[in-house]
Amino acid sequence: MINTFKTYADRAQQHPNACARDLLMLMERKKSNLSIAVDVTSKAELLSIANQAGPYICLLKTHIDIVDDFDADLVDQLETLAKQHDFMIFEDRKFADIGNTVKRQYGNGVYKIASWAHITNAHTVPGEGIIDGLKEVGLPLGRGLILLSEMSTKGALTKGDYTVESVAMARRHQDFVFGFIAQHQMNETPDEDFLVLTPGVGLDVKGDGMGQQYHTPHDAIVSRGCDVIIVGRGIYGHPDQIQTQAQRYRDAGWDAYLERCKL
Ligand code: 5BU
């Protein structure tokens, strides 16, 4: 696997994408490659979990459209927590429309995602125009995009040529696209350094009965060469143990990274 033996700090020094540099430096500074997926439906719960897990994570992943009582103050408070605990915010919006539509979905509407999410993601099914549209809004704000080249679920159609073409699209937009949601590392040459953020990570279960498939942090980081582990129910599914579980996954992810770099 290419580039996986390098440290996050070394990769930050050389990375062509500003958002990736910020994330890699943050990961090194905080000694965390853990992203928490906070898929809860109340503002108070989201903020409480973000506050408790904050010290252990590099990235907070949101599905902002599932929050029943969303308001602009939620975003203000998330931004304050991000500064206080030193994490970035990733809205897992999975844009999937034509360029002209996604740029409005990204910049406008109720959520105004581009104004607060450092990172968002997109399906590549519409072709490259989706990147052009999102880039028009996100790049001037210093935002970064990741593409869905491989989903974590059983029977996902994101495989074979679809994955290969998704990587080719990313290669043509490296000012804005810095990585993938995937289950494996995607680099093909030593010059390439796409980050792989990987969901479907769990220490205690193998699936959820609805298609999700879990790997351990060690498997994701060491065997598959992924860079950031995304953990949802493994952490927020234990509401009385958010800190303990966040620390457990943070340690598992970081130990795996140290093993991979032979540090
Ligand atoms: P879980 O509770 O750890 O299974 O949550 C996983 C999160 O990652 C959840 O927010 C999903 O929407 C998200 N996800 C995923 O599970 N698989 C994918 O391929 C992508 C996102 Br893309």
Q: Say if ligand 1 is within 6 A of residue 182 CB.
A: no
Q: Say if ligand 1 is within 6 A of residue 39 CB.
A: yes
- What's the gap in Å between 200 CA and the centre of ligand 1? 6
- What's the gap in Å between 180 CA and the centre of ligand 1? 13
Q: What's residue 3's pLDDT? A: 67
Q: What's residue 151's pLDDT? A: 96
Q: What's residue 263's pLDDT? A: 81
- What's the gap in Å between 199 CA and the centre of ligand 1? 5
Output DSSP code: residue 112: -
Q: What is the pLDDT of residues 43-70, one digit of tens each?
A: 999 999 999 999 999 999 999 999 999 9
Q: Is 97 a catalytic residue?
A: yes
**Cα-trace Rg, the chain:** 17
Give the separation between CA 85 and CA 56, rounded to whole angstroms: 9
Looking at the DSSP bridge assignments, the partners of residue 146 are 121, 179
pLDDT averaged over the chain?
Answer: 97
179 annotated among ligand-binding-site residues:
no
Q: Which of 69, 73, 76, 94 is catalytic?
A: 94
Q: Say if ligand 1 is within 6 A of residue 107 CB.
A: no
The residue whose CA has the least distance to atom 20 of ligand 1 is 151
The confidence band for 191, taking pLDDT boundaries of 50, 70 and 90, is confident
The confidence band for 190, taking pLDDT boundaries of 50, 70 and 90, is confident
Q: Say if ligand 1 is within 6 A of residue 35 CB.
A: no
Q: What is the pLDDT of residues 1-18, one digit of tens each?
A: 666 689 999 999 999 999
The confidence band for 38, taking pLDDT boundaries of 50, 70 and 90, is very high
Q: What is the pLDDT of residues 213-229, one digit of tens each?
A: 999 999 999 999 999 99
Could you tell me the two tokens for 96? 């999937």
Nearest ligand 1 atom, CA 121: 22
pLDDT top residue among 49 and 263: 49
- What's the gap in Å between 260 CA and the centre of ligand 1? 24
* pTM, to two decimals: 0.98
Give the separation between CA 21 and CA 28, rounded to whole angstroms: 11
Give the separation between CA 263 and CA 261, rounded to whole angstroms: 5
Q: What is the pLDDT of residues 122-159, one digit of tens each?
A: 999 999 999 999 999 999 999 999 999 999 999 999 99
CB of 184 within 8 A of CB of 196? yes
pLDDT of 118 > 90? The answer is yes
Q: What is the pLDDT of residues 152-181, one digit of tens each?
A: 999 999 999 999 999 999 999 999 999 999
> Per residue in 191-209, is it b (16+ CB within 10 Å) or e — as a string?
ebbbbbbbbbbbeeeeeee
**pLDDT-above-90 percentage for the chain:** 96
Q: What's residue 27's pLDDT? A: 98
pLDDT of 197 > 70? The answer is yes
152 annotated among ligand-binding-site residues:
yes
ipTM score of complex? 0.99
Q: What angle do CA 208, 212, 217 make, to 5 degrees?
A: 100
Q: What's residue 2's pLDDT? A: 67
Q: Which of 86, 97, 208, 219 is catalytic?
A: 97
